[in-house]
Amino acid sequence: MFAVYVVLTVLTAAVLAYGACLDFVRHPSIAAIADRVSVPRTWMVPLGACLAAGSAGLLAGFVVPWIGAAAGVGLVLYFLGAVGAHLRVGDLRIGGALVCLALSVAVLVLGIAVHGTE
Burial of 109 (0-12, 13-18, 19+ CB in 10 A): middle
pLDDT of residue 118: 62
| pLDDT, tens digit only, all 118 positions of the chain | 999 999 999 999 999 999 999 999 999 999 999 999 999 999 999 999 999 999 999 999 999 999 999 999 999 999 999 999 999 999 999 999 999 999 999 999 999 999 986 6
DSSP state of 42: G
